[in-house]
């Protein structure tokens, strides 16, 4: 997909989809013996700059992928029977986050934990510490579309011991990522390698954004802003207490325009929607009128696509009107946009309510 250019018009308020404040402490030993559920930290404090202008007025985790928000897709991978409380580590757009979670029912408690300044992955986790119960807890990035089986990962973590277990994903070209030196026989990660040449890479396994941690991990975390990847995991790997959990299936970090389209397609292919219908590799929301040709895309409810129009590899949000004989490729089209007859768009992010003459 070509680099997407941005048209900055304006971002309308999208529909916001129980916030209860709580904290608790228990001794680590008693929790390990008696506690059967865990807390989860969702890292959702980023600005989502690569998805602007959509994220100018709404946090990235609340952007819709098909008929659910991105963060709903994240929460859906959690095993409900294993989760006691979810902490949302949020900064930008925190009021929208509060509104959203006050209007949906979940089978566990939700606490919004505010970041008043960017803290990095480690700082965000440390900021949640007062709300964490003692015992194993999970951390997951707030923009992941993944097929990871968290319950299986938790069982592996408990069996293998250690302070942390990191999900690992295989890639064809590890030279663009931080690579784990993973020992399959022991399940341990010995060290990390940052963006190595392919021929020098320890493996093709990269950090896949979900972690299981023990409370003792905080002993390794410095004060203030810091990175788990650079400041914590490397230390505990040296001590032989860092595990890796490779998995296969689906993994998309939906933080860029290109990967947002990829994440949408992954959700279509895996049936991750509750309304609408699919035709081949395209998802149509309710009340869509389509007279064109739509390929590997999503078209949300109440949208219209005119005769002779081709839409390919794109995301069309709610209430969009696309005229006749248009070409829409590799685009993100915001809510209630109007695209007139004969328009040709490639690699664009259109803000909500944009009119293309």
What mean pLDDT, rounded, does the chain reach? 87
pLDDT for 63 equals: 96
Angle (CA) 236 237 242, round 5°: 85
pTM of the predicted model as reported, rounded to 2 decimal places: 0.84
Task: Confirm if 62 and 14 have CB atoms less than 8 A apart.
Answer: yes
Positions of CATH 2.160.10.10 in the chain: 276-356
CATH homologous superfamily for 276-356? Hexapeptide repeat proteins (2.160.10.10)
User: CA-CA distance, 350 to 331, in Å (whole number)?
Assistant: 8
Could you tell me the two tokens for 50? 């690569």
Report the CATH number of the 5-253 domain.
3.90.550.10
Count of residues in the chain: 357
User: CA-CA distance, 52 to 49, in Å (whole number)?
Assistant: 5
Q: What are phi and psi of 329, to 5 degrees?
A: -130, 135
pLDDT for 138 equals: 97
Residue 328's closest CA among 245, 261, 276, 239?
261
pLDDT, tens digit (0-9, with 9 covering 90-100), for 237-258: 989 899 999 999 999 999 899 9
Task: Confirm if 101 and 19 have CB atoms less than 8 A apart.
Answer: yes
Residue 228's closest CA among 87, 125, 117, 112?
125
**SS3 labels along 6-23:** EECCCCCCCCCCCECCCC
pLDDT, tens digit (0-9, with 9 covering 90-100), for 219-242: 998 888 888 888 899 889 989 899
Positions of CATH 3.90.550.10 in the chain: 5-253
pLDDT for 11 equals: 32
Half-sphere exposure in the Cβ direction for 222 (13 Å, CA):
13
Could you tell me the two tokens for 231? 């400041």
Residues with pLDDT less than 50, the chain: 1-34
């Amino acid at each position: 997909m070509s680099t997407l250019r941005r048209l900055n018009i304006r971002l309308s308020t999208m529909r916001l989809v129980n916030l209860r404040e709580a904290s608790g402490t228990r001794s680590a030993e008693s929790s390990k013996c008696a506690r059967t559920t865990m807390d989860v930290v969702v890292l959702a404090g980023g600005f989502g700059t690569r998805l602007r202008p959509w994220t100018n007025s709404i946090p990235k985790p609340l952007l819709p992928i098909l008929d659910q928000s991105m963060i709903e897709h994240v929460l859906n991978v959690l095993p409900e029977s294993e989760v006691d409380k979810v902490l949302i580590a949020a900064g930008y757009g925190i009021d929208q986050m509060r509104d959203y979670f006050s209007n949906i029912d979940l089978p566990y408690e939700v606490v919004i934990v505010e970041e008043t300044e960017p803290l990095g992955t480690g700082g965000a986790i440390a900021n949640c510490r007062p709300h964490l119960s003692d015992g194993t807890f999970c951390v997951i990035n707030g923009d992941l579309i993944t097929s990871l089986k968290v319950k299986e990962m938790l069982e592996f973590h408990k069996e293998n011991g250690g302070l942390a277990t990191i999900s690992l994903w295989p890639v064809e070209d590890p030279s663009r990522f931080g690579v784990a030196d993973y020992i399959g026989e022991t399940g341990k990660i010995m060290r990390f390698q940052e963006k190595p040449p392919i021929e020098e890479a320890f493996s093709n396994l990269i950090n896949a954004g979900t972690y299981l941690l023990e409370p003792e991990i905080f002993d390794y975390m410095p004060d203030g802003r810091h990175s788990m990847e650079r400041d914590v995991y490397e230390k505990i790997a040296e001590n032989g207490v860092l595990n890796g959990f490779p998995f296969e299936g689906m993994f998309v970090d939906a933080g860029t325009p290109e990967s947002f389209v990829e994440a949408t397609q992954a959700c279509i292919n895996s049936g991750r929607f509750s309304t609408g219908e699919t035709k081949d590799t395209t998802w149509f929301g309710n009340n869509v009128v389509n007279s064109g040709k739509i390929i590997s895309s999503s078209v949300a409810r109440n949208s219209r696509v005119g005769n002779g129009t081709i839409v390919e590899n794109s995301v069309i949000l709610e209430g969009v009107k696309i005229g006749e004989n248009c070409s829409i490729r590799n685009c993100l089209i915001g809510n209630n946009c109007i695209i007139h007859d004969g328009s040709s768009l490639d690699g664009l992010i259109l803000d909500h309510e944009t009119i293309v003459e």
